[in-house]
Amino acid sequence: MKKSKKSKLEKHGWKIGTAAEFLELSVEDEAYVELKVTLSQYLHKKRIKEHLTQEQLANLIKSSQSRVAKMENGDPTVSIDLLIKSLFALGTSRRELSQVMI
């Protein structure tokens, strides 16, 4: 956000902060959410790189296309376990996964 816009908003009583502050997330919760978002985004990129549709990935992991869509969009009902298993199914190595998680 531009400094001038931030100053103008604060002048009118608005408080500027982060999503974590707004949601009152602990440091641990914030890290968890960021990890899930990172894994979700990487799953999408990896699927596209492998030239697979959501339906093809769903068949590969014995799931549904709608579940893959939820995984890629960071739906809170999706577990980190499922994201990681799906990345492994796409050929992601442990080293590659560790680099994504940094």
Q: Is there a domain that residue 20 lies in?
A: no
Write down the pLDDT at residue 3: 87
Write down the pLDDT at residue 1: 78
Phi, psi (degrees; rounded to nearest 5) at 47? -60, -45
Structural domain count of the chain: 1
- 51-64 tens-digit pLDDT: 999 999 999 999 99
Q: Is there a domain that residue 15 lies in?
A: no
How confident is the model over 11-16, as a mean pLDDT? 89
Number of Cβ atoms within 10 Å of the Cβ of 46? 19
CATH code: domain of residue 40: 1.10.260.40
| Sign of the CA dihedral with 76 first, then 79, 80, and 82 last | negative
- 37-91 tens-digit pLDDT: 999 999 999 999 999 999 999 999 999 999 999 999 999 999 999 999 999 999 9
| Domain span holding position 32 | 25-100
How confident is the model over 15-43, as a mean pLDDT? 93
Q: Is there a domain that residue 89 lies in?
A: yes
- The Cα-based distances of 38 to 6, 23, 32, 72 in angstroms read 28, 19, 10, 10
- CA atoms of 64 and 68, how far apart (whole Å): 7
Q: Which pTM was predicted?
A: 0.82
Write down the pLDDT at residue 19: 85
Q: Is there a domain that residue 7 lies in?
A: no
Phi, psi (degrees; rounded to nearest 5) at 86? -70, -40
